[in-house]
Amino acid sequence: MTLVDIEGCVEHHPSKWFHGPFGWVLGKPRRVPFKPCKGQLKFFNPGLKCCCAHV
């Protein structure tokens, strides 16, 4: 699993993964221990307390 910061929202980006009309710019990726969790729509907190307390 990976924890990232949302650094921005753009309407155009050179990334091959950008398919508009807008996209999130993600940065500062950090590995976190795997924890099984139910997938959800939108952003959600998977309940990682040990490594996310500083966020």
* pLDDT tens per residue across all 55 residues of the chain: 788 899 999 999 999 989 989 999 999 999 888 878 777 888 777 766 655 544 4
36: helix, strand or coil: coil
Place of tokens 């952003």: 43
Distance (Å, rounded) from C-alpha 4 to C-alpha 28? 6
Looking at residue 53, its pLDDT comes to 46
Looking at residue 55, its pLDDT comes to 46
